[in-house]
Amino acid sequence: MKSLEELQFHNTYARLPDEFFNRVTPIPLHNAHLISFNPALAELIELAPDQASRPEFLEYLLGTKRHPGMEPLAMCYSGHQFGVYVPRLGDGRAILLGQLKNSKGQSWDLHLKGSGPTLYSRGADGRAVLRSSIREYLCSEAMHSLGIPTTRALCLIGSDEPVYRETVEAGAMVLRMAPSHIRFGHFEYFYYTNQHHHLKTLADYAITTHWPELTGREDRYLALLDDVISRTARLIAQWQGVGFAHGVMNSDNMSLLGLTLDYGPFGFIDTFDAGFICNHSDHHGRYAFDRQPEIGLFNLTCLAQALLPLLAVEPEQAAEQARALLGEYQQRFLDAYHVIARRKLGLREQQPGDELLWHDLLNLLQQQADYTIFLRMLCDFDSTTGAANTPLRDRVLDRAAFDAWAERYRQRLQAEQSNDQERCQRMKQANPKYILRNYLAEQAIRAAADKHDYSEIETLLDLLRAPYAEQPEREKYAAAPPEWAQRIEVSCSS
Residues tagged active-site: 252
Please identify, using beta-carbon distances, which residue of 77 and 402 lies nearer to ligand AMP: 77
User: Does residue 125 bind ligand AMP (CB under 6 A)?
Assistant: yes
Which DSSP string do the residues of 365-402 spell out, in sequence order?
HTTTSBHHHHHHHHTT--SSSSGGGHHHHTTSS-HHHH
User: What residues from 427 to 486 belong to the interface with ligand AMP (CB under 6 A)?
Assistant: none
Calculate Rg over the CA atoms of the chain.
Answer: 23
Query: At closest approach, how far in Å is the CB of 110 from Mg ion?
Result: 17
Please identify, using beta-carbon distances, which residue of 120 and 402 lies nearer to ligand AMP: 120
Query: At closest approach, how far in Å is the CB of 315 from Mg ion?
Result: 30
Please identify, using beta-carbon distances, which residue of 188 and 262 lies nearer to Mg ion: 262
User: Does residue 136 bind ligand AMP (CB under 6 A)?
Assistant: no
Residue among 176, 177, 172 nearest 131 (CA): 172
CA distances to 113, 289, 328, 438, 455 from 333, rounded to whole Å, are 31, 15, 9, 27, 39
User: Does residue 116 bind ligand AMP (CB under 6 A)?
Assistant: no
User: Which residue among 115, 150, 253, 389 contacts Mg ion (CB under 5 A)?
Assistant: 253
Asked if 260 and 271 touch (Cβ cutoff 8 Å), the reply is no
Residues 6 or more apart in contact with residue 152 via CB below 8 angstroms: 38, 41, 140, 141, 144, 176, 177, 178
Query: At closest approach, how far in Å is the CB of 69 from ligand AMP?
Result: 25
Please identify, using beta-carbon distances, which residue of 38 and 151 lies nearer to Mg ion: 151
Query: At closest approach, how far in Å is the CB of 253 from Mg ion?
Result: 4
User: Does residue 406 bind ligand AMP (CB under 6 A)?
Assistant: no
Cα angle 392, 397, 400 (rounded to 5 degrees) comes to 80
| Residue count of the chain | 494
Would the CA dihedral through 46, 50, 56, 58 be positive or negative?
Answer: positive
Beta bridge partners of 2: 47
127's contact among ligand AMP, Mg ion, none, with CB below 5 to 8 A by partner kind, is ligand AMP
Residues 6 or more apart in contact with residue 325 via CB below 8 angstroms: 222, 225, 226, 229, 304
User: Does residue 91 bind ligand AMP (CB under 6 A)?
Assistant: yes
Asked if 281 and 329 touch (Cβ cutoff 8 Å), the reply is no
User: Does residue 26 bind ligand AMP (CB under 6 A)?
Assistant: no
User: Does residue 90 bind ligand AMP (CB under 6 A)?
Assistant: yes
Phi, psi of 365 (to 5 degrees): -80, -25
Q: Which residue is nearest to ligand AMP (CB)?
A: 92
Please identify, using beta-carbon distances, which residue of 224 and 248 lies nearer to ligand AMP: 248
d(CA 117, CA 144): 29
User: Does residue 246 bind ligand AMP (CB under 6 A)?
Assistant: no
d(CA 308, CA 318): 6
User: Does residue 253 bind ligand AMP (CB under 6 A)?
Assistant: yes
User: Does residue 262 bind Mg ion (CB under 5 A)?
Assistant: yes
What stretches of 13-153 show up as alpha helix (H) in DSSP? Answer: 39-44, 56-61, 130-146
User: Does residue 89 bind ligand AMP (CB under 6 A)?
Assistant: yes
Of 5-13, 251-259, 297-305, 351-359: span binding Mg ion (CB under 5 A): 251-259
Q: Which residue is nearest to Mg ion (CB)?
A: 262
CA distances to 146, 341, 371, 441 from 433, rounded to whole Å, are 10, 16, 11, 16
Please identify, using beta-carbon distances, which residue of 77 and 221 lies nearer to Mg ion: 77
User: Does residue 248 bind ligand AMP (CB under 6 A)?
Assistant: yes
Asked if 111 and 181 touch (Cβ cutoff 8 Å), the reply is yes
Output DSSP code: residue 280: T
Of 2-10, 245-253, 336-344, 427-435: span binding ligand AMP (CB under 6 A): 245-253
User: Does residue 121 bind ligand AMP (CB under 6 A)?
Assistant: yes
Query: At closest approach, how far in Å is the CB of 253 from ligand AMP?
Result: 5
Of 53-61, 124-132, 332-340, 409-417: span binding ligand AMP (CB under 6 A): 124-132
Number of residues that bind ligand AMP (CB under 6 A): 16
Site residues for ligand AMP per CB under 6 A: 89-93, 120-121, 124-127, 248, 250, 253, 262, 264
Site residues for Mg ion per CB under 5 A: 253, 262
